[in-house]
């Protein structure tokens, strides 16, 4: 889709890659399933859905399919940055990434913190996907001034090499331990008046964003669509094949090796049960690889449903903020209606770790129903905001939401 935008006396043609927006929209929809499960599924408060000793295949897959969301989201954020840079120039792009990154950090620690925890005392901070996006953008703001091959090298190094650090641990609640956890080892860090959950360590996630930025080079106007499609197939299949080779060897690529289980299904689930915190090399390969294959086949997709999902992909931050508030508010009502108190839905720890909610929750069928209703409610809101953004391109603040 091409849209004419007026900047002073110049007319700039802004081209959006609709297959990228479509993919982003799909992962946003899937992401909501995971968050609905966190707040509504009874078993979520009892055990890890990927624990093969306690989970079922349906619950495992329900959680596992959402693994695609964060890496694709971060990867495509890097791609979008590259495409923005094609019309802004590196200096303006760098300034935009820096300010947007700072804005996202502020948003993560305030408005989004309230959404997740409903705790106005701010005793718990979760450094998750928005945090990773924010810092990745700040790093990318500096990295865009480096030669393209250097950015690509750093991306590969961070993603493929960070598992060499899996055996390194820095214990305690001191500054050194906190810095190490921020970069590589997810953990809870306790401070005198608050606790920080480092869920998305920066080293591998920044690597994913740098690779996404380099990937954007396939979408410049001078690249022939047929050539791009071939490269997408090559990169996608290579990533998937590399995943299966690495997992079969079972030596490197993930800190948790797979093992033979009591039956073939559980053995397969063990094989694909890759580590997200931090994202292992195997995790990135099996999530980003299929995403690239989807991009290879989806450039010609069209239709009403495609248009709706693509619109969601154009307003990801708006969708993200709204969906958390809606999920948490409805969960609060559901908790009160089933005998719990409002305070039980106010957290100073991650929702599924809350001891007050053991015994609360619903079946997986109800979770899926709630997810579908949530998405249907969000669609008209997102379509309105997408239309508003397209009709008010002169409002610069819209690029930050």
pLDDT tens digits for range 301-343: 889 999 999 999 999 999 999 999 999 999 999 999 999 999 9
**Is residue 13 over pLDDT 70?**
no
Contact 141, 101 (CB under 8 A): yes
pLDDT tens digits for range 21-35: 999 999 999 999 999
Average pLDDT over residues 207-214: 98
Confidence of residue 6 (pLDDT cuts 50, 70, 90): very low
**Is residue 248 over pLDDT 50?**
yes
% the chain with pLDDT above 90:
86
- pLDDT value of position 176: 87
- pLDDT value of position 174: 81
Report which of 225, 276, 294 is spatially closest to residue 24, judged by C-alpha positions: 294
Contact 40, 334 (CB under 8 A): yes
Mean of per-residue pLDDT scores for the chain: 93
**Is residue 3 over pLDDT 60?**
no
Distances (CA, A) of 241 to 7, 61, 210, 227, 397: 46, 21, 22, 21, 42
Q: DSSP 3-state assignment of 23?
A: helix
Report which of 273, 285, 74, 277 is spatially closest to residue 160, judged by C-alpha positions: 285
Rounded-to-integer distance, Cα 323 and Cα 32, Å: 7
- pLDDT value of position 1: 41
**Is residue 387 over pLDDT 70?**
yes
Q: DSSP 3-state assignment of 102?
A: helix
Rounded-to-integer distance, Cα 342 and Cα 10, Å: 55
**Is residue 2 over pLDDT 50?**
no
CA angle (275, 173, 277) in 5-degree steps: 10
- pLDDT value of position 397: 75
Neighbours of 176 (CB within 10 A): 10
**Is residue 7 over pLDDT 70?**
no
- Under DSSP, the state recorded for 41 is B
* Number of H-type helices and E-type strands within the chain: 15, 5
Report which of 380, 388, 319 is spatially closest to residue 26, judged by C-alpha positions: 319
Peptide bond into 41 cis (omega under 30): no
- pLDDT value of position 103: 95
Lowest mean pLDDT among 46-55, 76-85, 187-196, 263-272: 187-196
Report which of 129, 178, 136 is spatially closest to residue 159, judged by C-alpha positions: 136
pLDDT tens digits for range 126-181: 999 999 999 999 999 999 999 999 999 999 999 999 999 999 989 877 888 899 99
Confidence of residue 396 (pLDDT cuts 50, 70, 90): confident
Neighbours of 327 (CB within 10 A): 23
Rounded-to-integer distance, Cα 387 and Cα 383, Å: 6
Contact 215, 156 (CB under 8 A): no
Contact 255, 280 (CB under 8 A): yes
Rounded-to-integer distance, Cα 154 and Cα 132, Å: 17
Average pLDDT over residues 226-254: 97
pLDDT tens digits for range 262-286: 999 999 999 999 999 999 999 999 9
pLDDT tens digits for range 362-383: 999 999 999 999 999 999 999 9
Neighbours of 162 (CB within 10 A): 22
Q: Which two tokens stand for residue 398?
A: 């819209």
- pLDDT value of position 15: 59
């Amino acid at each position: 889709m091409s849209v004419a935008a007026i900047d002073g006396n110049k007319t700039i043609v802004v081209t959006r890659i609709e297959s990228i927006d479509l993919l982003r929209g799909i992962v946003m929809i899937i992401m909501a399933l995971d968050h609905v499960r966190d707040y509504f599924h009874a078993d979520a408060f009892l055990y890890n859905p990927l624990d093969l000793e306690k989970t079922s295949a349906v619950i495992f897959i329900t959680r596992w399919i959402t693994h695609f969301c964060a890496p694709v989201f971060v990867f495509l954020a890097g791609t979008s940055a590259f495409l923005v840079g094609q019309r802004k120039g590196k200096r303006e792009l760098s300034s935009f990434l820096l300010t947007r990154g700072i804005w996202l950090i502020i948003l993560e620690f305030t408005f989004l913190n309230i959404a997740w925890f409903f705790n106005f005392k701010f005793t718990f901070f979760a450094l998750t996907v928005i945090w990773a996006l924010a810092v990745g953008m700040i790093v990318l703001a500096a990295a865009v001034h480096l030669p393209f091959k250097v950015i690509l090298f750093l991306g590969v190094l961070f993603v493929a090499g960070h598992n060499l650090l899996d055996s390194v641990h820095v214990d305690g609640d001191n500054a050194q331990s906190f810095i190490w956890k921020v970069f590589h080892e997810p953990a809870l860090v306790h401070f005198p008046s608050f606790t920080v959950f480092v869920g998305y360590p920066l080293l591998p996630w920044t690597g994913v964003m740098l690779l996404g930025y380099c990937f954007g080079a396939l979408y410049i106007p001078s690249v022939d669509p047929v050539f791009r499609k071939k490269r997408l197939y090559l990169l996608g299949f290579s990533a998937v094949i590399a995943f299966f080779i690495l997992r079969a060897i079972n030596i490197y690529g993930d800190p948790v090796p797979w093992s033979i289980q009591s039956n073939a299904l559980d053995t397969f689930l063990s094989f694909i049960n890759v580590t997200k915190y931090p994202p292992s090399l195997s995790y990135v390969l099996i999530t980003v690889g299929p995403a690239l294959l989807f991009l290879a086949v989806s450039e010609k997709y069209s239709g009403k449903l495609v248009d709706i999902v693509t619109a969601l992909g154009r307003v990801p931050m708006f969708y993200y903020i709204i969906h958390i508030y809606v999920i948490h508010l409805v969960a609060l009502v559901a908790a009160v209606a089933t005998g719990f108190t409002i305070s039980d839905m106010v957290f100073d720890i991650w929702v599924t770790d809350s001891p007050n909610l053991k015994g609360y929750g619903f079946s997986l069928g109800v979770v899926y129903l709630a997810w579908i209703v949530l998405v249907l409610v969000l669609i008209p809101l997102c379509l309105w905001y997408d239309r508003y953004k397209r009709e008010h391109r002169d409002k610069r603040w819209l690029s930050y939401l």
